[in-house]
Amino acid sequence: MKAFFMDHSNFDVWTNMAIDEWAYNNIETLFFRFYTFSKPSITIGYNQRYNFGIDFDYVVKNGIDITRRITGGRAVIHSGDLTYSFCGNNKIFTGGMGLIERYKKISEIFVKSFRKMGIDASLSGGEKKESFSANCFASTSIFEINLKGEKIVGSAQTFSETNFLQQGSILVKKSLIPQEKIYGKIYTNNIENLTGITYNTKNMSKIFYEVFFNSLNYQWEKLRIDFNDTGFKSLVQKYRDEGWIKKR
């Protein structure tokens, strides 16, 4: 069966979110990609209030790019992280099983990838922390990924009757956006801090691609999106729109 991927890429926050939504709406089998952001940015969860637990005035005054995802979850600072998306037909991926099973299957591949890098990651049992924090990495759900008891991958989904989209952030380096200015608190649960080793996110993505290709037995083909297509441009504009960002 043919499935699709995109090479590691680096775009602004609006283009990155538009690519993921385009794939969610158009891919009938499976698709995944790893990517970074052309400048430090923030995404907030679909159901999250745009100014709850986040210093939105600081974001605006400092020209930080921000948008709302179509997936759930909490705010993510995209600076020093490696982001991924995985989407497609749920029957093809898990035989029609539910959200938790999708999380588990994807997370198991990530754990395998981390261990290939010498990073002793493990699956979370679902312990909760800081329930009222706006930060995605302040709480841990079942089948998320921990290192030394700290959450290092935050993920969220949206889904329809047939398709799903899971987006996630791998916390590799210290953020260039001061966390205390956004959340009022500093978090130190990035992989480099926990291991004492410096990583290159693009090189890490190569290992993730290799393990995902080997773990999912499909005929993988590189996806090409026409960024000049009117429909794609309208998606990018949607994510730039203040009304979308302040939807809640």
Tell me the torsion sign for CA atoms 166, 170, 171, 177.
Answer: negative
CB–CB of 75/44 below 8 Å? yes
51: left (phi over 0), alpha (psi -120 to 50) or beta: alpha
How many C-beta atoms surround the C-beta of residue 71 within 10 A?
25
Rounded to whole angstroms, the Cα distance separating 187 from 175 reads 10
Residues with catalytic roles? 136
CB–CB of 189/154 below 8 Å? no
Strand order in the sheet with 41-44: 65-68, 41-44, 76-78
Upper half-sphere CA count for residue 180 (Cβ side, 13 Å): 3
- 16 Cβ partners below 8 Å, 6+ apart? 35, 37, 83
- Strand, coil or helix: 173: coil
Q: Token digits for 222?
A: 């590189």
